[in-house]
Amino acid sequence: MTTPSRSALFEEPTCGVNRGKDAAAKKAGCPAPKPGATAGGCSFDGAMITLVPVADVAHIVHGPIGCLGNSWEARGSASSGPQLSRRGITSDLGQNDIIFGGEQKLYDTIVEAAARLTPAALFVYATCVPAMTGDDMDAVCAAAAQATGRPVVPVHAPGFAGTKNFGNRLAGQALLDHVIGTREPATTTPYDVNLIGEYNIAGEMWKVTPVLARAGIRVLASISGDGRYGDIATAHRAKASMVVCSRALLPLARGLQERYGVPFFEGSFYGIRDMGASLRGFAQAIGDGELAARVERIVAQEEAAIGAALEPHRRKLSGLKAVLYTGGVKSWSMISALQDLGVEVTASGATKSTDEDVEKMVELLGPGGRVVTEGTPATLVEVVRETGADILIAGGRNQYTAMKSRLPFLDVNQERHTPFAGYSGMLDLAVALERAVFSPVWEQVRRPAPWEVAG
Amino acid sequence: MTTVTTNGRRAVIDPLKLSRPLGAALAFLGVSGCMPLLHGSQGCTAFAKALLTKHFREPIPMQTTAVTELTAVLGSAQNLIEALDTVRAKQHPEIIGVITTGLSEVSGEDLPAAMRAYRAGLGPGDPLVVFVSAPDFAGGLSDGWSTALTALVEAGLQGAGDPTGDPRAFPVLAGVSLTAAELDEIALMVESFGLDPVLVPDLSASLDGHLGAGWTPLTTGGTTRGQLARLGTTRYAHAVGTTSAAAAEALTLGSDTDVVVSQHLAGLDAVDAFVERLWRISEREVPARIRRARSRFADGLLDTHFALGGARVALALEPELLAATADLLACSGAEIVTAVSPTSDPVLRDLPCDEVVVGDLMDLRERAAEAGAEVVVGSSHAVAAAHAVGAAHVPLGVPIEHRYGAALLGVSGYAGGLRFITDVANALLEKTHVTRPTHPFSARKDQP
């Protein structure tokens, strides 16, 4: 990695783990993954998750085919306009590029992509192989920006740098270093905000933005669901930022605060209680009494409406038990959303959570709840069995583990096709839970064939 | 003779190519009690695993040696050894497929030497450890499959501790393109001649989508270690697809087995030749069931030729699947107006069309539009191109993520060929618009 410097990255006050370390431990960075017993994506994956939702940008992967060829079109982030970020672009490094260097190929790739796809900007992602061979990506990006007349942003998050979370974070750093603050908004309002870490999976941000609009809150920059390069470049003019379910992007929010004085708060759009808290969070961060009053009116209206709509579903779902296994902040946020529906969460995963996340989680789960720290498929199935849960709620990676164990399953991660955010998302969540748990298939597949019981 | 060209572009836009380690891992997933282990960054495994999970809708066993920035520079052989020890202790596999990646290949370490040293310490009760070199920056999915299949055959020949071969055993070395449905039909044909099919590898026993007793961390079926060890003892064997040709050569060189390679088993001629060989080897009558399947296929050719005759088809597929599909459709009367392959292969020089491009899905989009293609055949990644062109999309290849039933697709065999030409013909029928007059004078003036 050329930029940013490693020591600076591991001096992170918003990271609870890091705060507890001494100087030597800080320098060593995050713990290394265990060979032969590691699951989950790399930093490059994380950087792509954070930035690819920017819809009018051409996203170029500088590496051999595996990094993009095996991963593109896999993410469920929706755009209301340009679909450019759905395209997959790569320098597809071959043997000669490894031997002689891939800089020329990358330059040509950027110039060709700019000419053919006319993007608002180009983001260039480093991967392990060119990071090893020492291609000077910063220099190539600078030269290509000159030649194309478009912003070309280097993103230094090669896979071997660490986990997916670390990649999210490095992507945030790239925005802070190269994009934010480079343009001025055409107009501003006293209620301009940034959403940080909301990826508009299955279009769920669109369930939230109308509510924000009713309160008079304008989303200046979305980082990055349905995002646009030009908007993100003006994010420094927002009056507040909300960090949505993403620990890893807290440093970006902190950077916005330190460099441009934009205050931030953490929140979630999942669940009735957290929606209310987030709306109030905006009012508080902006510090506007009128807004606070508007927010209270809207929260009361929305809660009354969704409360009535959910009533028949609550009757069906009440008493159901679920095991939740998802990353970080989303864990406690989903627990509260499920509890809002009358579902009891018997156990929740905490692999990617900080101490504060776990604290909140334990508080929500109550005395009977279990915190699961090891997320292997075998463990999850066991926890579901032991706690008598009716459903496993997790990321797509565990979907077929559940199927093979004949357990109902609901996908709550970035590849899903159902939006769960906002007040109306609660209805979708309720319906999805009902369809999963009360499907007629379970009784059939759990029953042995006649010849297996006869005789 | 087909002209093989490239697009002359430097940027790859909408890649058709998948990675070489992915192809190698896929081959190992057709081996029983196996754990593929990718020697690279954790993302190399995560991406490959996620793609195959969505394609097959099955849990995919796959582990990583988790090479980091530090170990990539200082030496990652220790990661590999630690990972092998961990996988052995935790999952107790019968076979471990060690697959390198771009990252572990670029550091220039002598990994084969490290592997030899590790293998020397293994006893008879320990798992078979098969090593495959698969740099991401050379070749693609097909090359990875071909290398891994060859390594599996060679490992079987080396470990040939069981000389008591079954005279009825008939190994089929399977190419990368064969789905569970195609493998089923091939196995059924072999079986119906009184022979015992041994599929190598056998995705129809591991990733066919079956509900077993519960979840397990390794492959749930496939070619067994014992079957691999008996490979060299059979009299006859067959290889299907160009990605099985190298393994067929290894088997021929390392044994007295008579191996025949079919480029593919799509279309009447190709399937007939395969059945003819089974008929000669077994010295049995061709069973009624097979004659019936052939007559159904022949009838289907007649029925669908009204739709398929002159139909303009664009294909974007791995080389051997491209050859199979192009031959089947051309024999049905369709015209292959665009052919795109992710990587180069000798089989591309002999396609039933003038030109094939080694390129990406941008090539498919541009050329299919220019040629006025009515149908696009390809993976889920080709759907956007089909829409852009205004053509129907018929799913085939990897990955299939936007539809269910990837294991049920295919072009091989009498039944498989019939299903495929029926699907393409139906896609054409559904696309047909209401007929309108082309000249203004032909239009009646209806009263409003």
Is residue A184 a part of any domain in this protein? no
Same domain, A62 and A159: yes
Residue B13 is nearest to which of A89, A133, A445, comparing CB atoms? A89
B37 to A36: CB separation less than 8 angstroms, yes or no? yes
pLDDT for residue A26: 67
Share of chain A above pLDDT 90, in %: 79
B3 against A38, higher pLDDT: B3
pLDDT for residue A1: 42
pLDDT for residue A455: 62
Taking 90 as the threshold, does the pLDDT of residue A22 lie above it? Answer: no
pLDDT for residue B164: 67
What is the residue range of A205's domain? 192-303
Which residue does chain B place closest to A32, by CA atoms? B68
Is residue A298 a part of any domain in this protein? yes
Taking 50 as the threshold, does the pLDDT of residue A259 lie above it? Answer: yes
pLDDT for residue A376: 83
Contact assessment for residue A152 and residue A141, using Cβ atoms and an 8 Å cutoff: yes
pLDDT for residue A2: 45
Same domain, A196 and A279: yes
Residue B400 CA to its chain's centroid (Å): 13
The CATH number for A129's domain is: 3.40.50.1980
Pairs of CB atoms within 8 A across A/B: 228
CA of B10 vs chain A CAs: smallest distance (Å): 6
Is residue A424 a part of any domain in this protein? no
For the record, the structure tokens of A9 come out as: 């990255």
pLDDT for residue A140: 98
Q: Domains plus CATH for chain B?
A: 20-139 (3.40.50.1980), 169-290 (3.40.50.1980), 293-431 (3.40.50.1980)
Same domain, A286 and A402: no
Taking 80 as the threshold, does the pLDDT of residue B20 lie above it? Answer: yes
Distance of alpha carbon A63 from alpha carbon A157, whole angstroms: 12
Distance of alpha carbon A197 from alpha carbon A32, whole angstroms: 25
The CATH number for A197's domain is: 3.40.50.12380
B103 to A132: CB separation less than 8 angstroms, yes or no? yes
pLDDT for residue B123: 93
Indicate the residue among A263, A278, A303 that finishes a domain: A303
pLDDT for residue A330: 73
Is residue A448 a part of any domain in this protein? no
Eight-state DSSP code of residue A184: -
- Give the Cβ contact number of residue A273 at 10 Å: 16
Domain count of the fold of chain A = 3
Rg (CA), chain B: 23
Contact assessment for residue B24 and residue B99, using Cβ atoms and an 8 Å cutoff: yes
Burial of B380 (0-12, 13-18, 19+ CB in 10 A): buried
For the record, the structure tokens of B414 come out as: 């009498």
A94 to B17: CB separation less than 8 angstroms, yes or no? no
Distance of alpha carbon B265 from alpha carbon B267, whole angstroms: 7
Which residue does chain B place closest to A83, by CA atoms? B384
**A64-110 pLDDT tens trace:** 999 999 999 988 899 999 999 999 999 999 999 999 999 999 999 99
Same domain, A23 and A139: yes
Distance of alpha carbon B17 from alpha carbon A92, whole angstroms: 9
**B153-207 pLDDT tens trace:** 999 999 765 666 788 999 999 999 999 999 999 999 999 999 999 999 999 999 9
Taking 80 as the threshold, does the pLDDT of residue B445 lie above it? Answer: no
Same domain, A399 and A274: no
The pLDDT of A241-267, averaged and rounded, is: 94
Is residue A454 a part of any domain in this protein? no
CA of B165 vs chain A CAs: smallest distance (Å): 34
Which residues lie closer than 8 Å to B199 by C-beta, 6 or more apart? Answer: B30, B171, B172, B174, B183, B186, B187, B205, B223
Same domain, A129 and A164: yes
Taking 70 as the threshold, does the pLDDT of residue B32 lie above it? Answer: yes
All residues of chain A having their beta carbon less than 8 Å from the beta carbon of residue B401 are 73-74
A42 to B86: CB separation less than 8 angstroms, yes or no? no
Is residue A425 a part of any domain in this protein? no
Contact assessment for residue B341 and residue B356, using Cβ atoms and an 8 Å cutoff: yes
Is residue A238 a part of any domain in this protein? yes
Same domain, A241 and A372: no
CA of B376 vs chain A CAs: smallest distance (Å): 18
Is residue A444 a part of any domain in this protein? no
Residue B102 is nearest to which of A112, A129, A377, comparing CB atoms? A129
| ipTM (interface predicted TM) | 0.95
Q: In which band, very low, low, confident or very high, does the pLDDT at B381 lie, cut at 50, 70 and 90?
A: very high
Here the contacts of A136-140 (C-beta below 8 Å, separation 24 or greater) are A136/A2, A136/A103, A137/A2, A137/A62, A137/A106, A138/A2, A138/A3, A139/A103, A140/A103, A140/A106, A140/A107, A140/A110
